[in-house]
Amino acid sequence: MKSRLILLFAILLSTVEVGQCERIKDIVDIQGIRSNPIRGIGLVIGLAGTGDSTVLSRQMLTNILRDSGLVLTPTDLTGGNIAVVMVTTELGPFAREGSRIDVDVSAIGDAKSLQGGMLLPTPLKGLDGQVYAVAQGGVSIGGWTAAGDKASITKNHQTVGRIPGGAIVEKEEVAHFVEYIAGHRLITLNLRNSDFSTAERISKAINAAFPNSAAVVDAGTIKVKVPSEIGQTGIAGFIVDITKHDVKVDIPAVVVINERTGTIVVGENVGISAVAISQGSLVIKIRETAKVSQPIAPFSDAGTTAVIPETIVGVEEKEGYLIPVSRTVTVSELANTLNAIGATPRDMIAIFNALKKAGALQAKLVIM
């Protein structure tokens, strides 16, 4: 673990109020409106000796040249200026035929850099095997490599690049977000963080504007009925109206600890029952020194001067204190309590684990 550990809190203690409201559109997803991944295998050309040395890249180039009427074999070509890449992107729910989308390009073989490369036309397919877009264009890697005979310097990752607007949509994927059930039109809102309290508040906010239209299905789902007086062209406006309201988001009491990085995230509703905490630690100091051994017999050839390594280890135990901690109900009070005993992030990880074991931590403890 690094010497400097990071302590994060779920809310800014001095600026954020407990129970802050959020817009419905910022905490839910509309069922049916989502992106679909598409991908393809392509060939980047024009590299300055930083490309593949694999047979796969030469075979792909051979196939392309054969389509142009040139009959060659992979052994007729040399590698270095071409690279086989995986081209990936997501087809958005409202991407229409002829529109452009960004694509990511990642080297598959042993290419050292895609700097200055050009992606040849590459069909991008969905999981159903159909072609939804075609990618082509210059690869931007957002970095550079400079090399001499004996040394080189590189900035950023060189084998992954991006082509802004590099794919043209050939086939669109229409989003279906309105369900037709028993003569009614329904829109489903899915909470990103499932919670019954938040779902109920969303339902009440929508019913206040459109009576008897929203119902909670479960902790993460709210069904909203489109009023009969709203036509097909008015559904977009109806979605705007039901998602613009502010609701209070209920955050569960949870403490997340990443022991590898020393990161601690504490939810705003975390509380601690009345306990007493003793904080103490060992300070271990290790110093490596070199001791010179010199023969003591004057005018003697019986011994030689030698350097002997020596390790000095010192252990110091800090004085511990038993400090009473009263019941806390907010992140601010919890932070002040732990800071009062001088707890470092490393100490806090141990304290939270001990509090959970003792049953005094009134929150869910998640160890990453």
The string of pLDDT tens digits covering residues 100-120 is 999 999 999 888 889 889 999
Residues 50/116, Cβ–Cβ less than 8 Å:
no
Q: Tell me what pLDDT residue 6 has.
A: 40
Q: Tell me what pLDDT residue 337 has.
A: 67
Query: In this structure, what token pair is assigned to residue 184?
Result: 């009614």
Instruction: Look at residue 171 and tell me whether its pLDDT is greater than 90.
Output: yes
Q: Tell me what pLDDT residue 293 has.
A: 65
Lowest-pLDDT range, 4-8, 170-174, 191-195, 280-284?
4-8
Confidence of residue 292 (pLDDT cuts 50, 70, 90): low
Q: Tell me what pLDDT residue 17 has.
A: 44
What backbone phi and psi angles, to 5 degrees, belong to 236? -60, -45
What backbone phi and psi angles, to 5 degrees, belong to 43? -130, 125
Instruction: Look at residue 19 and tell me whether its pLDDT is greater than 60.
Output: no
Lowest-pLDDT range, 11-25, 173-187, 223-237?
11-25
Q: What's the mean pLDDT when you consider all of the chain? A: 80
Q: Tell me what pLDDT residue 135 has.
A: 97
C-alpha neighbours within 13 Å on the C-beta side of residue 59:
5
Domain 21-32+176-248 belongs in CATH node 1.25.40: no
Instruction: Look at residue 364 and tell me whether its pLDDT is greater than 60.
Output: yes
State which H helix or E strand residue 241 sits in.
helix 235-243
Q: Tell me what pLDDT residue 85 has.
A: 95
For residues 368 and 363, give the distance between their C-alpha atoms in angstroms, rounded to a whole number: 16
Give pLDDT tens digits for 265-291.
Answer: 887 778 777 777 666 654 444 455 666
pTM listed for this prediction:
0.69
Confidence of residue 12 (pLDDT cuts 50, 70, 90): very low
Q: Tell me what pLDDT residue 158 has.
A: 86
In the chain, the amino acid numbered 364 is K
User: 245 vs 25, 27, 199, 235, CA distance in Å?
Assistant: 8, 11, 13, 17
Confidence of residue 2 (pLDDT cuts 50, 70, 90): very low
Q: Tell me what pLDDT residue 14 has.
A: 37
Strand, coil or helix: what is 245?
Answer: coil
Q: Tell me what pLDDT residue 91 has.
A: 94
Q: Tell me what pLDDT residue 282 has.
A: 43
Report the percentage of the chain scoring pLDDT > 90: 39
Residues 230/6, Cβ–Cβ less than 8 Å:
no
Domain ranges for the chain: 21-32+176-248, 36-169, 254-281+319-367, 283-317
Give pLDDT tens digits for 200-210.
Answer: 999 999 999 99
Instruction: Look at residue 13 and tell me whether its pLDDT is greater than 50.
Output: no
Instruction: Look at residue 178 and tell me whether its pLDDT is greater than 60.
Output: yes
Q: Which residue has the higher pLDDT, 251 or 164?
A: 164
Q: Tell me what pLDDT residue 299 has.
A: 57
Stretch 309-332: mean pLDDT:
58
Q: Tell me what pLDDT residue 209 has.
A: 92
Give pLDDT tens digits for 334-354.
Answer: 667 667 666 677 777 787 888
Lowest-pLDDT range, 74-88, 158-172, 226-240, 290-304?
290-304
Instruction: Look at residue 71 and tell me whether its pLDDT is greater than 70.
Output: yes
What backbone phi and psi angles, to 5 degrees, belong to 334? -65, -45
Q: Tell me what pLDDT residue 16 has.
A: 40
State which H helix or E strand residue 206 sits in.
helix 196-209
For residues 346 and 15, give the distance between their C-alpha atoms in angstroms, rounded to a whole number: 26
Instruction: Look at residue 137 and tell me whether its pLDDT is greater than 50.
Output: yes
Q: Which residue has the higher pLDDT, 9 or 179?
A: 179
For residues 22 and 18, give the distance between their C-alpha atoms in angstroms, rounded to a whole number: 12
